[in-house]
Structure 1
Amino acid sequence: MPRLRSPLLTAAAALAVLGSLAACDGDKSKSAAMADSGDPLAQYRANPKYKAFMAGEKMSGYVFASPETQAMQDDDFENPGMLAVQDGEEEWSKVEGAAGKSCASCHQDAAKSMKGVAVSYPKFEPKRGKLANIEHRINLCRTEHMKAPELKWESKPLLGLTAYVEHQSRGLPISVKVDGPAAPFFEEGKKFYYTRRGQMDIACAQCHEQNPGMNIGVENLSQGQSNGYPTYRLKWQSFGSLHRRFEGCNQEVRAEPYPRGSDEYTNLELYVAWRGNGLKSEAPSVRR
């Protein structure tokens, strides 16, 4: 979601800005003028896929990134997220806990055992009685099989393991299931997505479903897809989880955020992942 910097910018004013930008969408002369003025989305607006996207085509946040950011993500030597993958590879074989086991003790070669796993999460976890994402699943393995303590959310070891597991599915399509026991949690995530919140009175859908491709303030609105997470975000100058991004979105509309790893954010994660079903996993991505 966008950062609305001025305290004088109300929700109505913010939506008016979005509406005026949307009205300019089909005007080629204005698009050309924006290109001349250095509009960061000029190259995107000139893409013939733009109109198809506005009609509902799914597109990764990669599409909205600058060529420099895209190049950084594409080169594994330049992609700072790969450092987290390296951290995770080390954690994978680290023996911890009373059981004297590591992740590799059970799962062996992650390139084989973890391929295709991450793109199916979040999913219903019977032992939790609710949804689990990759971070939850890692901690469940630690407590049940390694007899080791849970890793703290957003800690270097958990981010690393999450990145390492996600990386094994890079290039595979997101494929989450929202039926069966996952259905009620999916509905809760959907409800969250469409609920206005905070002092700005803005819902996720208003930015990422109704106005993607538009600018508001200094922010470029994307579809809010999750196929690149965890990600190295240039704004953060660090690697972070999807729940950290959700937290930031809530703060930016001046709403009280939920804890990372909460049921609310995990349910939302399933709904957002479902919106991107079919998009290829890019983890670890680089985002603005």
Structure 2
Amino acid sequence: MPPKKNENEQKLTKAQRKKQIEKKERRLREEEERLQAGREEQERLGREKKQAEVENLQLKALELREDELNEVRHLLEERRAAATQWERDAVEAAKWERYLSCDDVIDSAEQRQVNTFITLWRDEPELNVRKVLTRCHVALQLVDELDVLIKESTDPKQTLVYQEGLVYLQELIQAKLNLTCEDIFKGNQNIELKTKNMEMVVKDEMMTLCLWANLEKNPSFRGLTFEGVGLGLQLPQQLVWSDVAVRILHTHYDHLTMLSRMTHLRTRRCPANNKEDLRDSSVLKGSPVLKDSP
């Protein structure tokens, strides 16, 4: 029978065993930490690699975009230069054509000529619709030329003079059309035999004017279409017995935008308090002609 170990030897053995266990556990923890650190390092390197690839792609994309932008800028600069040259050539060609025509075409850059045209047309009593439309064409040509001068002008005072002239011409066009239509309605001409109502269509390359007046007051009338122009109207039943006049003005130019944007540039006198709604007293009654630029 083997001899029994004493108590000190048993305690020492337990301590050694515990120490060995702790040492083993420590090695396991250290190994796990080392492996975890290795995995984290691999993940970090992977992220850095992906980030570097993304940044490289972004840099290449930016370089490509910059090249494309430079190409677009170059093309735009070429187009701008070509457009500027074309506009300059067009102005010179128009001047040369005016010179060769040897007629009394108004020079929009000469404010006295523009003022003379405005004054004469404003005071002209002629309201024949064809002649008025012809004058409108001249005024519209001046409006286009003044618009070009406004864009090219570098003198604020001269620009303001051009702007005022442009607005005044547009208002005069509208006022003359109003007066002409009023004169036609008052004349009771152009009675349509079938409906016995006043009906009229005037058309040219710049505008289409349709006029209609309810003279017969036929309760069965519902509406009409003006032949050849594709325009028409519908009359509500409650207006069949009323004195109704209709004007349809279809223009091939914008006659409202410039007026709404630039009317404030000119101080206008208040229209006279009268019942003639078609008249524009600010243009046709007592409004001064534009001052010549110094």
Q: Same fold (TM over 0.5)?
A: no
TM-score, normalised via structure 1 length = 0.24
TM-score (normalizing by structure 2)? 0.24
Q: Which has the higher contact order (CA 8 A, sep 6+)?
A: 1
Q: Report the structure number with the largest CA radius of gyration.
A: 2
